[in-house]
Amino acid sequence: MSVSNVRAAIQRFIEHPNAQVLCIRGEWGTGKTWTWEDVLKDAASKDKVKAKKYAKASLFGLNSIKELKREIFQSAINPDQIGKPLNADSAKNLFESAKSWGKWAANKASFLHDDALTAAIEVAALFARDQLILIDDLERKGEDLRSVDVLGFISQLRDERNSKVVLLLNDEELDDQEEFTSYLEKVVDVYLRFSPTEEEVARIAIPETDEVSVMVRNNSIELGIKNVRVIRKIFALAKHLEPMLSKYSKVVTHNSVGAITLLGWSHLQPKNAPPIEYLKRVHTYSPKTGDEDLDLKWRDLLLKYRYTHTSDYDLVLLKGLENGYFDPVEIEKHASELHQADARHKVELEVRAIWDDMHYSFTKPAEGILNAFHESYVRNIAFMTLGDMTVMERLFRELGDERSEELVDRYIAAHKDKPGAFDLDRLERFGEEMTTSIKEKIAAAEAEQAPKLDPDEVFIALAKRGFDEELYDVAAKLPVSEYIRILKSHEGPELSSIISGLRQYLNTGNLDARLYIVMDKAGAALREIATESPINARRARRLGLIQRLEAKEAQAADEAQTSTG
């Protein structure tokens, strides 16, 4: 039954003049309680709740009808207090009521052997009439309380106390379901099956309309999450992360929230979602042997959700989901990379469109195309690489445009403080061509840059400035022998800092190629040190860099064997 139909039925029940029992059955977490309370609050605001008192009781952990009576007694409020916070006056009234019943019971109800409050509750139950009572969580009752006893008490409330009773439950979780079902039809007057769609559950869970709210809601619908509590927990974590991403592009927030929704669902509701371990190793375009059954069950959903694999950033988000908070340092490290990648991607798309005009037209004149290139180049100069500049300079030069020299000068001015921006060795590996005069300009610009740091200073600084290009550019060019010298020249806190700086890249993906070189050389250096003595082997192998290098070498050997076989 849809939420709108359930709401209409609840409203009819509340306004019905006679005592009745309403049973709303549905899966855990789908919003039964929220829907009931929302309709009730609306009815109370319109003075349509005619009961003398409204009470609600959870059966969670209760083992007797006596305990249930206590829950009802202690929660009873006047209908005009429904949906309102408990203030000092209402709390005082509840206390005075319990106190007066306790005194009455202590003086008059001497036939009861329990304490005065328990006696008061028993006496109050005898006199209480015309109430509206919500009983929730039947499937989570204590072991000593039978469902049929609860139904018998509910029947008594209706028939002898003229009270309306609402019973909310997930009957599929009952341990005495067969016995319960046999008695249910004799007690219940109105029976509703609460089975909302994914859209209805998501809108119950997140009525907010801000950007992150809409993202989580839409993601939940797309994944088919049908648990309000799970969605709300995911939403809370997404809102916790949001300020950490505010300075980055919207794509970073969008991708982060998308990963949080999927991983949060798997973490919080593992029986209904793709298993976490499966998500860690899955690649939707390259299925793994042994995952055929899981692929059959989940691959189409992941493809539809555009989730191809779990990145290192996703693993950082998963760690935050498991801990209940996110590490700002880890988030910033990955988010800044995603932000730069997104900005660079947008520039590439823009430039690619101009190249399409260049290559796929015999009518568009060179002047308009070169003007478009020049405008884009100047506007996006911060994202231009030495290779971009070289390609653009050659195009302008070959088409006789005098702005070719200007492109070089602009690049030098914009990147004069960026380490590696004038590294001709890296450029030549890609076969780019430059005139002699341009090469001289670039070499002169490189010479004018700040002098390189001492190798020891570089390694010590890596721990705090690990993604400073000036540092890892120097580290990547040093020979393995320098790594060995530096690792053996420092001890104590300094060596600890150097090791932390080298290990920080182990769990980070999509790195600059130079950082992979740094890890390779660090692994090779540690492997050499490990051969010196058993204690050095123990010291070196505990850091993970040797194992990383060995795994890389083994993979390369396997690929080589496969290609030759």
d(CA 78, CA 131): 10
Q: Which residues contact 214 (CB under 8 A, 6 or more apart)?
A: none
pLDDT of residue 562: 73
Give me 133's structure tokens.
Answer: 């009572």
pLDDT of residue 97: 52
Instruction: Compute CA distances 39 → 20, 158, 363, whole Å.
Output: 17, 21, 67
Torsion of CA 299, 305, 308, 311, to 10 degrees: -130
DSSP code string of 227-253: -HHHHHHHHHHHHHHGGGGTTS-HHHH
DSSP 454: P
pLDDT of residue 254: 94
DSSP 348: H
Q: Which long-range contacts (CB under 8 A, 24 or more apart) does 57-61 make?
A: 57/133, 57/134, 57/135, 57/136, 58/136, 58/137, 58/140, 59/135, 59/136, 59/137, 59/138, 59/140, 59/141, 59/145, 59/150, 60/137, 60/140, 60/141, 61/140, 61/141, 61/142
pLDDT of residue 423: 77
Give me 209's structure tokens.
Answer: 């309309």
pLDDT of residue 122: 61
Give me 408's structure tokens.
Answer: 């070089």
pLDDT of residue 525: 95
What crossing angle do the helices spanning 211-223 and 250-268 adopt, rounded to 10°? Answer: 50
Tell me the residue length of the chain. 565
Q: Which long-range contacts (CB under 8 A, 24 or more apart) does 200-203 make?
A: 200/2, 200/3, 200/31, 201/30, 201/31, 201/225, 201/226, 201/227, 201/228, 201/231, 202/231
Nearest Cα to Cα of residue 488 among 455, 537, 526: 526
Give me 540's structure tokens.
Answer: 């070196």
Buried b or exposed e, range 422-459, using 16+ CB within 10 angstroms: beeebbeeeebebeeebeebbeebbeebeeebebeebb
* CA angle (355, 358, 361) in 5-degree steps: 130
pLDDT in tens, the chain (565 residues): 678 889 999 999 999 999 999 999 888 888 888 899 999 999 999 999 988 999 999 999 999 998 898 888 888 888 888 887 755 455 455 445 544 444 444 454 444 445 555 655 565 555 578 899 999 988 888 889 888 899 999 999 999 999 999 999 886 667 667 777 778 888 988 989 888 889 999 999 999 999 999 999 999 999 999 999 999 999 999 999 999 999 988 999 999 999 999 999 999 999 999 999 999 888 776 677 788 899 899 989 998 998 888 888 888 899 999 998 898 888 888 888 788 878 888 888 899 999 999 999 999 999 999 999 999 999 999 888 888 898 899 999 999 999 999 999 999 999 988 877 887 765 654 445 688 889 889 888 888 876 567 888 889 888 887 777 778 888 988 999 999 999 999 999 899 989 988 998 887 766 778 888 999 999 999 999 999 999 999 999 999 899 999 988 888 888 777 766 5
Secondary structure of residue 24 in the 3-state scheme: strand
What does residue 24 show for φ and ψ, rounded to 5 degrees? -115, 115
d(CA 268, CA 276): 10
Nearest Cα to Cα of residue 125 among 74, 192, 176: 74
